[in-house]
Amino acid sequence: MKSLKTLLRVKQREMDVLKRQQLVIENQRKDVSNRITRLQEQLEYELKSAEAMPEMSHFFGDFSITIKKRQEQMRVQMRKLEIELDKIGAQILERFSEMKKYELAIANDKKRRDQIAAQRSQQYMDEIALRGYIRRDVS
């Protein structure tokens, strides 16, 4: 019984570590998404600036290409992070499943012990009642 509780604690710690990793990766994904958004906003701002100042518009083409390359790199990074999140999610589900198995085993063991204790108590009470009956009958 003690070993099951120990295994349960180990699995809980593993799950806590995985959840922390998941949170870190989720924050990284949000950060990358925000950077992509900021780059898009910067691109739109520069487009408006290029329209307003035609003499600067010849620089906009290279700038636009560079921004779009950065955005694509960040989208690739975002896909990698999402794959990692999926892996961690699967590991969390696996740990959770294992934890539930241990919790059920512990609950079943407790139920069995409670039943045994109830049977012993009932046997003890039956024995006391039987002795009382015999004493009353003998007198």
**Cβ atoms 39, 72 nearer than 8 A:** no
The answer as to whether 75 is a domain residue is yes
Above 90 in pLDDT, residue 104? yes
The answer to whether position 110 is within a domain reads no
What average pLDDT does range 76-95 have in this prediction? 95
In a domain, 111, yes or no: no
Number of domains present in the structure of the chain: 1
Going by pLDDT thresholds of 50, 70 and 90, the confidence category of residue 139 is low
Confirm whether 112 is domain-assigned.
no
Predicted confidence (pLDDT) at residue 137 exceeds the cutoff of 80: no
pLDDT in tens, 30-65: 999 999 999 999 888 888 887 787 777 777 778 888
Q: How far apart are CA 41 and CA 31, in angstroms?
A: 15
How far is Cα 117 from Cα 134, in angstroms, rounded to an integer? 25
Average pLDDT, the chain: 89
User: What is the C-alpha to C-alpha distance for residues 131 and 125, in angstroms, rounded to an integer?
Assistant: 10
Residue 61 lies in a domain: yes
In a domain, 135, yes or no: no
Range of lowest pLDDT (3-7, 21-25, 41-45, 116-120): 3-7
Range of the domain at 33: 2-99
- Residue at 16 is within a domain: yes
